Amino acid sequence: MKKLFVLIGIASLSLAKAQIDPVKYPTYTNIDEALSSTKTVYSMSFREKGLFNLPPQIVKLNSIFFLNIMANKLEKMDKEIFALKDLQILNINENSITYIPDEISQLTKLTTFSMNLNSLSHINPNIAKLQNLKVVHFDANNLNVFPEALMEIPALEEINLQGNQISFISNGLDQIKNLKFLNLADNQINDLGNLSFPTYLKYLELQQNAIIKLPENLFKARNLEFLNVSGNNITEISPAIKGLKNVASMNLANNNLKDIPVEIKHLKKLKTLILTGNPIEKSTIEKLKTLLPETQIYF
């Protein structure tokens, strides 16, 4: 049975994007009420309805752009979903779906796609045809590699893959030109090679993996503001850390760090540095306080 856990991170960029005006676009929760409405139906939610299948009549509501079918008993994505050509936001969290059908390519207007807490072992390559996608959530599935299809969607701004079994990320991540938020926490990553990161990346979560060394290219991410690599096996930090000119929060807790390079003094915007759970001597902490007088250091 899949473990249920609270997905904790920084404020998700998708929260703002997934909001819809409840007055202008009221959300219907009953298919019969929606079908009998004299107004155009744009939003529907079948959350926690105990559904094994989507009501087939939903295909008549071809103006829907928001559909929430989370926390049901679905084992597949019903064909009716792919008839809703105007869908922009699709939430299928907390079901038992094992694969994404080829027909996903038909939802060309989709901007937010969420399938957390399902049983996906891979992501259909056809998702690459959804060139308007900005936000994807595949947390807590059974993925063991980073979905390469996502690297073919430069419009993506947010990717959440927390709580899978990902151990490998191929080169090409930097092709996602607009990516700002990447969450790969609680996976099985131990080697990032010299992975390159997107230019506009601002938030990177890699905590609770098995990473030994951070790639040099990470320190070229000049727009990075938030970095969490706590709970790994990192033994040293490269002097190239000085390249993270805009980082404001850095969590290095619970690693195997004994020292931090003096080049960290160049991080003038660093407000929070977390070093708890590392074998760092008090004298080293005192030196860091001198180098970073404006930074709150936790040790």
Q: Which residues make up the CATH 3.80.10.10 domain(s) of the chain?
A: 21-166, 193-298
CA gap 48, 44 in Å, rounded: 13
CA gap 152, 118 in Å, rounded: 23
**Which carries the bigger pLDDT value, residue 180 or residue 12?**
180
Q: What are phi and psi for residue 136, nearest 5 degrees?
A: -130, 135
Per-residue pLDDT tens over the stretch 132-190: 999 999 999 999 999 999 999 999 999 999 999 999 999 999 999 999 999 999 999 99
- For residue 238, the model assigns a pLDDT of 97
Q: Is the pLDDT of residue 49 over 60?
A: yes
- For residue 24, the model assigns a pLDDT of 79
Rounded to an integer, the average pLDDT of 272-280 is 98
pLDDT band, very low/low/confident/very high, at 92 (cuts 50, 70, 90): very high
pLDDT band, very low/low/confident/very high, at 279 (cuts 50, 70, 90): very high
pLDDT band, very low/low/confident/very high, at 21 (cuts 50, 70, 90): confident
CATH number for 21-166 (one of 3.40.366.10, 1.10.10.410, 1.10.20.10, 3.80.10.10): it is: 3.80.10.10
CATH of domain 193-298: 3.80.10.10
Per-residue pLDDT tens over the stretch 230-247: 999 999 999 999 999 999
- For residue 25, the model assigns a pLDDT of 84
Percent of the chain with pLDDT over 90: 92
